[in-house]
Amino acid sequence: MAASTDISLRQQIIYSVYIRNHTPEGTFRALIPDLPRIRALGTDIIWLMPIHPVGEQGKKGSLGCPYANRDYRSVNPEYGTMDDFRALVSSIHQHGMKCIIDVVYNHTSPDSVLASSRPEFFYRKPDGKMGNKTAEWTDVIDLDYNVPELWDYQMETLKIWAGIVDGFRCDVASCVPVEFWKRARAEVEKIRPGCIWLGETVYTTFNRMNRVFGYYAGTDAEMFEAFDIEYDYDIRESFDKFISGKAPLSLWTELLNHQEVSFPENYIKLRCLENHDRPRAASLFPDDLCLDNAVAMLFFLKGTIMLYAGQEFCCTETPSLFEKDVFPRSGRNISCDLEKMARLRKEYLEEDDYFFASADDENSIAVIIRDNGKNRKIGIFSLKGKEADVNLCFPDGEDVQVKDGCYTDLINGDKVQIHNGALHCSGKPVIISL
């Protein structure tokens, strides 16, 4: 684990913004009036998806993908000027939040500044031409971290931005050598002490594919040497299988428990239901009750929470990365629920809680324990909205005693009964403190 990681990041909530699609104007300054609303959701950190100019050569769609970066050291003129960007960051700080930006260090657009000025920085295919290692990423060319001068350029770039922002979300971080990230972190710390490092560690299957083809693929355990927070893609595929009916819920809950013992004690995973690469939560859980359970469970998990802009309006369509596609605000608005869960999380949960998850596979109900030695919290989440009696007797080795009696549901204030070690779940999410 990164030696200077602040474990309080486990209690933070990140809100992800794609400038192009957040407002009709699609500019830095147009986001500023929305900051109070975003802050009210419980947001601590705003993550701005790539703010840099987008490549033209080989671009996807009419506007191109923000992850096909043309220049690491300037801002996309469609979004505004550098002064506009600084004004946005200043306003984020004034509203009590931090700002992190996306850095895409695995690749650039084919017409990037570096491609023309420093062609030796790039990976070459067997035919000697610049290219990439992931076939579907047709709008980018990969960088070659066997070139020491590339390291220097990238670290200097990070230090420039660290003079403005509070941290970085690092795209496909597992494809860039961990030794680079460790050195970069040390260099940036001189400019921005306490800089936040969020790494997009990739799906297990993606890492396996890269290794099969002989490409670098850092494991989550290795990446934790440099990053404060990592994606939970190491177990996400098991959750996806549950949603699609291909695996029981217990496969995922067992892997949640495995994370507790397979990483350093102060590990931090990013927990989200959706992001710009994935389907919307409201499409994965089209039933309102099921979605309510999934959202409540998200906030009860151990790790940093991430919300993707539009999630609060239960948007069902994932916005295009390549076109102007402002997300609608006309759907079911769960902002109040998100605010409530953020308050509950910060009031009742601790960053160093003991964590254990189990599942009733027959009814697709997750049961999660969090305990800090002072008080014990139990969350019951019916991910398919089913009504059932939930047994709160836990496996051998989990010293959890649940006394019969009447308890208050911390989510809605209702009274719930535990009788003979079981709680009747009505299909709604329940969180109690023992």
CA R_g for the chain: 22
> Which residue is listed with tokens 């067997």?
126
Contact 186, 225 (CB under 8 A): no
Per-residue pLDDT tens digits for 333-346? 999 999 999 999 99
Run of H or E residues at 431:
strand 430-433
Contact 432, 378 (CB under 8 A): yes
Residue 396 has pLDDT above 60, yes or no: no
Residue 401 has pLDDT above 80, yes or no: no
Partners of 433 in the beta sheet?
377
d(CA 92, CA 155): 25
Residue 268 has a CB neighbour count (10 Å cut-off) of 27
pLDDT band at 322 (very low <50, low <70, confident <90, very high): very high
Residue 59 has pLDDT above 70, yes or no: yes
pTM to 2 decimal places: 0.97
Contact 273, 312 (CB under 8 A): no
**324 SS3 class:** coil
pLDDT value for 284: 97
Mean pLDDT across the chain, nearest whole number? 95
pLDDT band at 434 (very low <50, low <70, confident <90, very high): confident
Per-residue pLDDT tens digits for 124-177? 999 999 999 998 999 999 999 999 999 999 999 999 999 999 999 999 999 999
d(CA 204, CA 220): 9
Strands 107-108 and 229-231, sheet pairing: unpaired
Contact 21, 31 (CB under 8 A): no
pLDDT value for 431: 97
Eight-state DSSP code of residue 106: S
The number of CA neighbours under 13 Å toward the Cβ of 198 is 30
- Edge-to-edge strands of the sheet including 422-425? 388-391, 422-425, 415-419, 405-408
Partners of 230 in the beta sheet?
199, 269
pLDDT value for 385: 97
Angle at 133 between CA 128 and CA 137, to 5 degrees: 115
pLDDT band at 1 (very low <50, low <70, confident <90, very high): low
Convert 309-319 to b/e letters by CB count within 10 Å (16 or more is b): bbbbbbbeebb
**Lookup: tokens for 400:** 């959890």
d(CA 373, CA 128): 60
Going from the C-alpha of 110 to that of each of 11, 129, 130, the distances in angstroms are 39, 11, 8
pLDDT band at 217 (very low <50, low <70, confident <90, very high): very high
Residue 222 Rama label (left phi>0; alpha psi -120 to 50; beta)? alpha
Per-residue pLDDT averaged across 184-212, rounded?
96
pLDDT band at 320 (very low <50, low <70, confident <90, very high): very high
pLDDT value for 395: 58
Residue 399 has pLDDT above 70, yes or no: no
Q: Which of 429, 376, 420 is nearest to 398 (CA)?
A: 376
Per-residue pLDDT tens digits for 267-290? 999 999 999 999 999 999 999 999
Per-residue pLDDT tens digits for 224-264? 999 999 999 999 999 999 999 999 999 999 999 999 999 98
Per-residue pLDDT averaged across 339-354, rounded?
95
Run of H or E residues at 142:
strand 141-142
pLDDT value for 343: 97
